[in-house]
Amino acid sequence: MSNDFIPVNEPFLGGNEKKYLNECIDTGWISSEGPFVGRFEEQLAKRIGRKYGIAVANGSAALDVAIAALRIRAGDEVILPTFTIISCATAIVRAGGTPVVVDCEPDTWNMDVNQIEAKITKKTKAIMVVHIYGLPVDMDPVLALAKKYGLKVIEDAAQAIGLTYKGKECGSFGDISTFSFYPNKHVTTGEGGMVMTDDKDLAERCRSLRNLCFNNNKRFVHEELGWNYRMTNLQAAIGVAQLERLDMTIQRKREIGIRYSELLCGIGTVQMPVKNKPYADNIYWVYGLVIKSEFQMEASGAALELSKRNIGTRPFFYPMHQQPALKNLGFNFSGEYSVSENIYKKGFYVPSGLALTDEQQTRVCESLIDIFRA
C-alpha cells in the first residue's frame, strides 16, 4: 500500500493507553480478573447513565448475551431493522428466534419506526433498535409501542457512544443495551463490547452468561449454557484511557462531518448525511454518501474510483432480508424494503477516523468532486 493511502479509519491512541497497559504488565494483571475491567464498566455505565455495565469480548458477543439474558428462544420473534450488521440477526437466530425486519428511512438510514406496529404478532417478544451511522432511532414511538404491547427493547448503541436522543444518552433507553469497542467505534479496546441495563437480575444473568454460567455453589455444575465472553484487563485498560477522551472524540467526529458537508455541498449528485433531526445532532460515526438515482454510478464504482486515488471506503450494510446465510436457514422476509436495497447499491462511506488530517480530508473531497461532477 503506498504511503499516501488514506484508510477509512485509523484510531487515535495518544492518551493514557500506553501508561495503563504498562500498569497491567507491571502488576501482572492481564486476564479478566484485573482491576481495569470493573473500572471501565463503572465509568462507561456512569457516562451513559445506567446502573450496570458488563464488559464482554466484542459487540457481537454483547448482542448474544443480551438476547440470552432476555430469554428469547425458539418461537419468539424480534423486530429489527433490515439495514444493520449481521451480528443483530445472528444473536436472534442462534437463540432459536426469528428475525422480523423493517425498512429504513431514506434520510437518516435508521429503522422506520412507523413500520414496526404492523409487524407485531402474538409471537413478538422484543424490538431491537440499532442507531445507524451517527443519528439515533426515533426512540419515543418505539418505547410507546413496547409499552403498549409488553415488548422488551434491545438497544444496539455500538455506533452511538456519546450520541444523545432528546438530550439523553443513547444506550440508556433499552431494557438492555449493547456497545462495541472495535477500533472504528468512539471508544476502542481493540476488540471489546459491553452490555448495560438498570435491572439488577438482568445484570446478574449477563455476568453469568459471559462467564460460562459457572455455578456459585457447585462451580462446575451448569444450569444453563453460557460463553467465555470475558474482556481482559489489557483491553479494559485501553478502554479507560479512551473514555477519558470521549468528549473530544465526539467533537472531532462532528468537526470532520460538518467539514465534509461544507466542502461537498456543491455536489448535487450525492445525498449527504442529515446534520440535525428535531431529536438529535449527528455525531457522524461515519460519513456516508448515497449516490442519487439520476447519477449512473453504483457504490462499487465509486469505491473503485476512490481506490485508484488511494482513498479507502466501505460499502453500506447489505440488508438482512437479502442475506444468503439467513435465506439458507429458511427465513423468508416478505414485504418491500426498497430504501435499504437502494442505499446498499448506492451508498458508501469515506475516511473519517480520528487520525484523519485536514489535508487528507481535502484530498478526499477533491476526489469526490472530480468523480461526481454532474
Ligand X SMILES: *Cc1c(COP(=O)(O)O)cnc(C)c1O
Residues at the interface with ligand X (CB under 6 A)? 58-60, 84-85, 87, 130, 156, 158-159, 180, 182, 193
- Say which residue the cell 485508484 belongs to: 308
Closer residue to ligand X, CB minimum distance, 313 or 367: 313
Q: How far is CA 64 from CA 96, 99, 175, 211, 292, in A?
A: 12, 14, 15, 13, 36
Closer residue to ligand X, CB minimum distance, 65 or 145: 65
Grid coordinates standing for 113? 419506526
- Say which residue the cell 471508544 belongs to: 187
CB of 370 to ligand X, least distance (A): 30
* Contact of 371 with 302, CB cutoff 8 Å: yes
CB of 131 to ligand X, least distance (A): 7
Closer residue to ligand X, CB minimum distance, 285 or 331: 285
**Angle between helix 299-308 and helix 338-346 axes, rounded to 10 deg:** 20
Closer residue to ligand X, CB minimum distance, 130 or 364: 130
Helix (H) or strand (E) holding 77: strand 77-81
End-to-end CA distance of the chain: 31
Closer residue to ligand X, CB minimum distance, 131 or 259: 131
Rounded CA-CA distance 175/197 in Å is 6
Residue nearest to ligand X (CB): 59
CB of 207 to ligand X, least distance (A): 19
Closer residue to ligand X, CB minimum distance, 158 or 209: 158
Grid coordinates standing for 295? 447519477
CB of 191 to ligand X, least distance (A): 6
CB of 374 to ligand X, least distance (A): 33
Minimal CA–CA distance to 69: which of 188, 211, 181?
A: 211
Q: How far is CA 270 from CA 2, 36, 196, 265, 371, in A?
A: 28, 44, 37, 9, 11
Tell me, what amino acid is at 269?
Answer: T
CB of 193 to ligand X, least distance (A): 5
Rounded CA-CA distance 104/110 in Å is 5
Sign of CA dihedral 141, 147, 150, 152: positive
Closer residue to ligand X, CB minimum distance, 193 or 351: 193
Sign of CA dihedral 241, 246, 247, 253: positive
CB of 248 to ligand X, least distance (A): 21
Rounded CA-CA distance 53/161 in Å is 14
Contacts of 202 (CB under 8 A, 6+ apart): 52, 69, 70, 175, 176
Closer residue to ligand X, CB minimum distance, 131 or 346: 131
CB of 159 to ligand X, least distance (A): 4
Closer residue to ligand X, CB minimum distance, 29 or 83: 83
CB of 130 to ligand X, least distance (A): 5
Rounded CA-CA distance 166/7 in Å is 33
* Contact of 69 with 205, CB cutoff 8 Å: yes
